[in-house]
Amino acid sequence: MGRVSQAAILSAFLLTIVPFSAAWCDSQALYMAAATTESADEAGLTIETAIVLEDATNEFNGVSAEHAYTNGHYPGWKWKMQSLMDNGDKQYDIIELVGPKGESKTIYFDITNWFGKLQ
């Protein structure tokens, strides 16, 4: 069996635990917003417009803030998959969402400032 990186284990753990604790997280209220109409320049639809969660300072509140952001901007949509992308000196979370009617959307978060930080 191949070696699994600590970052991969941490990400899997956080994606399992954090959604259940998001209701307790103060940062959730900061990112809640009404649903938006999609446009070509909508934040997060490309790597160039990746969403930066300014108040996220570590893995715990960063992942929670991602969930709060997607719940607030895309009510009724569910996370299908999360993947990590390293692009030189920046790291991105790529979140694939599935809408209430089965439609899909990919959202990019720039997680450089908090990726790998536990505190």
- Strand, helix or coil at 104? strand
Domain holding 48, by residue range, is: 6-29+42-110
Q: Calculate mean pLDDT across residues 77-87.
A: 95
pLDDT score, position 27 = 37
Q: How many domains does the chain fold into? A: 1
Tens digits of residue pLDDT in 33-69: 333 345 556 899 999 999 999 999 999 999 999 999 9
Residue 117 located in a structural domain: no
- Please tell me the distance from the alpha carbon of residue 57 to that of residue 112, in angstroms, as a whole number: 10
Structure tokens at 20: 């259940």
pLDDT score, position 68 = 96
Residue 73 located in a structural domain: yes
Among the listed residues 65, 91, 80, 100, the one whose alpha carbon sits nearest the alpha carbon of residue 8: 91
Mean pLDDT of the chain: 78
Residue 56 located in a structural domain: yes
Work out the pLDDT band at 5, boundaries 50, 70, 90: low
Instruction: Report pTM.
Output: 0.67
Residue 37 located in a structural domain: no
